[in-house]
Chain A
Amino acid sequence: MDRPDIVVLVKPTPDITKVRFDVETGRVDRESAELEINPFDLYALELAARLRESLGGRVVALAMAPPHAAKALRDAVARGADKAILLSDPRFAGADTLATSYTLAAAIRELGSYRLILCGEKSVDGDTGQVGPEVAEHLGIPHAAFVQSVIDFDDESITVEADFGSCYYLVRLKYPALLSVSRPLSFKGERLEPRIPKLSDLMRARKAPVEVWRADDLPVVDLSRVGWAGSPTCVVKVFYAFERWRSPAVFKSVDDAVEAIVGLLRRKNLF
């Protein structure tokens, strides 16, 4: 019998220092920069590859993005994914976290049996951290967010350490379950780092097919719940954050600097 899959949600994200942003419309011009796998998701991919060694099953990388994100998905293959699926359809565009998670969940249902869904704790561009737990809710499965460490696992369940705020807690989840992982991430006491693809991996990935799924490939999807149409949140205006350049007093003499620092600490009543 085939072992159930490990699904990794990867978000192809632009380099946020290079991407253009249209302040008029409040939209990110995702065409303006090359898309790369969200750095947090690289840890999820690495974890998936490590879990596969014991649990078996395929590692399936799943993304929702414009067509030119196929390159980022091939990178996921180079980093260990067995299969890559790109949800790409103009009707999916403009999705907020609710519509995104709904669409991803619909695609995961279409995939069939899965044991685990892994993703990074947040993306560098959207920076909400909401999609993981929302996907879990749509699928009716438990999740753990801000996972710091995988402690142990077997065929039935996985035990992780998750950040609860002031304290870390141990959480045991029965499969199927979703984990959103933080970095640094450890795996049975070992520090996990995303692998750097070898030349042979890159060659293999270059030829790897990326399946593109369109809205019509998701028979159960309710089109009023995807893309702009399914997104209740709407940016009404955007401002450049008031860039508060400070004008520093610059010191090259250490003694003068120490004098000034002590003065400042006194004014702040810290000393």
Chain B
Amino acid sequence: MLTYAENVDGELNPASLELLSKAREIASARGGKVYSVLVAASENAREVRELAARGADVLLVYRVSGDLLRNYLLHAEALARAIAKAKPGLVLVSATPWGKSVAPRVAARLGLGLTADCLDVYVDETGDIVQVRPAFTGNLIAHIKTATSPVMATVRPGVFPKPAPDYSRRPEAVVVEDLPASPPGLEVLGPSRRKSVNLSEASVVVAVGRGLKRREDVSLFAELAKILGGEYAVSKPLVDAGWFEKERQVGFSGNVVKPKVYFAFGISGAPQHIAGMRDSECVIAVNTDPSAPIAKHSDIFVVGDMYEVTRKLLEKLKTFKSENLR
């Protein structure tokens, strides 16, 4: 098994650690070691220790100068070399924007099948590796086998648990190789802006849709999100209208979220939107239309005015808060 550790510009993506729990599971079913490939500026990178603590047996470290850590073509080169070296049966990459930029290049270079956005990977009764992925906006679940070896898949972040770390665990080997100069034609100049929010990790998401009358009214819903320690979000029409950034968008073409509580204010519940929130633990929807499709995806459905409900809810929560402080 080989996992790709996503180390963008020297920042290890926690989703990479989740791949190790699945790799360990498959390794115990089929035998073999767990390799992790890492592009880093030094072989003593703290990421090496982290990956070993989370279950990697052998670390394949590809060294580049610090300013090239953000060049994804070099990461693709490293992953291709690691596959040639480790000869794994399975290669796992996180289905992040970065992973989905790196993995297809490697698959095309090596002539491998690649399965996108997997929700699970398992070994069937014949010993084959099977990949499970959603199809058609999540309405279907497909089980896929790959005829080429290694089997290669990108895995949706958040579906496998992060293994508990054991920092006394040492890797069996750390193999270090220098990567050649960067491939021509691509220059990653540097970060332009940080995302203001990461919805996929929020425990409460307060989403508003077309029911929002004015852009500035979002402050009311943002306040509710804040008091509950969550984030506010929007549906696609509000992004299309140019009111909000895409990083706030929940849905098929935006972010997939699974908070403890999801509020849908003034969102009718188009299939594209449902695809982004159906796995929430609890859903509370408020809509003036009693026949809105969001109703059958809700645990609490309120037929009413989203502004009124939010104002009264905030009032109540604030009262509780001040009583508890007393």
Contacts and interface: CB of A to CB of B under 8 A. Distances in A.
Interface string B79-99: 000000000000000001110
A165 B13 contact: yes
Interface string A224-251: 0100000111111111110011111111
B261 interface: yes
A88 B100 CA distance: 27
Contacts of B134: 127, 241
A213 interface: no
Contacts of A129: 100, 104, 116
Interface stretch (B51-59, B168-176, B188-196, B208-216): B188-196
A67 interface: no
Given A136-B105, A166-B194, A270-B203, A246 B70 contact: no
Contacts of B313: 258, 261-262
A225 B115 CA distance: 17
B113 A264 contact: no
Interface string A180-217: 00111000000100000000000000000000000000
A117 to B, nearest CB: 13
Contacts of B194: 166-168
A260 to B, nearest CB: 6
* Chain B contact residues, majority secondary structure: mixed
A165 B191 CA distance: 11
B240 A184 contact: yes
Contacts of A135: 108
A141 interface: yes
Interface string A260-271: 111011001011
A9 to B, nearest CB: 14
Interface string B147-183: 1100000000000000000000000000000000001
Given A129-B100, A165-B98, A254-B309, A233 B114 contact: yes
Contact of B303 (A102, A145, A252): A252
A268 B260 contact: yes
A258 B309 contact: yes
Contacts of B299: 246, 248-249, 264
Contact of A270 (B13, B229, B253): B229
B112 interface: yes
Interface stretch (A56-64, A72-80, A170-178): A170-178
A20 to B, nearest CB: 11
A186 to B, nearest CB: 10
A265 B228 contact: yes
B281 A268 contact: yes
A161 interface: yes
B226 interface: no
Interface string A155-166: 000010111111
B139 interface: yes
Interface stretch (B24-32, B40-48, B60-68, B290-298): B290-298
B309 to A, nearest CB: 6
Nearest to A225: B111
Contacts of B297: 245-246
A16 interface: yes
A190 to B, nearest CB: 11
Given A164-B8, A232-B113, A182 B141 contact: no
Contacts of A154: none
Interface residues of B, number: 96
A54 interface: no
A109 interface: no
A168 B139 contact: no
Contact of B109 (A19, A137, A235, A257): A137
A103 interface: no
B300 A248 contact: yes
Contacts of A174: 184-186
Interface in A31-68: 40
* Chain A contact residues, majority secondary structure: mixed
Contacts of A247: 296
Which of B191, B229, B242 gathers the greatest number of chain A CB atoms within 10 Å?
A: B191
Given A133-B105, A254-B309, A257-B300, A171 B114 contact: no
B261 A130 contact: no
B63 to A, nearest CB: 21
A156 B116 CA distance: 33
Which of A26, A96, A165 gathers the greatest number of chain B CB atoms within 10 Å?
A: A165
A251 to B, nearest CB: 5
B295 to A, nearest CB: 6
A128 B101 CA distance: 11
B140 interface: yes
A5 interface: no
A98 interface: yes
Interface of B: 6, 8-9, 11, 13, 70, 73, 76, 96-98, 100-101, 103-109, 111-117, 130, 134-148, 183-195, 198, 203-204, 228-229, 239-240, 242, 246, 252-253, 260-261, 271, 278, 281-286, 290, 295-305, 308-309, 312-313, 316-317, 320
21 contacts: A125-B136, A129-B116, A133-B104, A137-B104, A137-B106, A145-B101, A164-B191, A167-B8, A169-B70, A170-B189, A171-B186, A231-B113, A241-B140, A246-B298, A251-B301, A251-B303, A252-B304, A258-B309, A262-B316, A264-B282, A270-B229
Given A128-B114, A137-B108, A261-B309, 8 more contacts: A101-B104, A145-B100, A170-B189, A232-B148, A248-B299, A249-B300, A250-B295, A257-B309
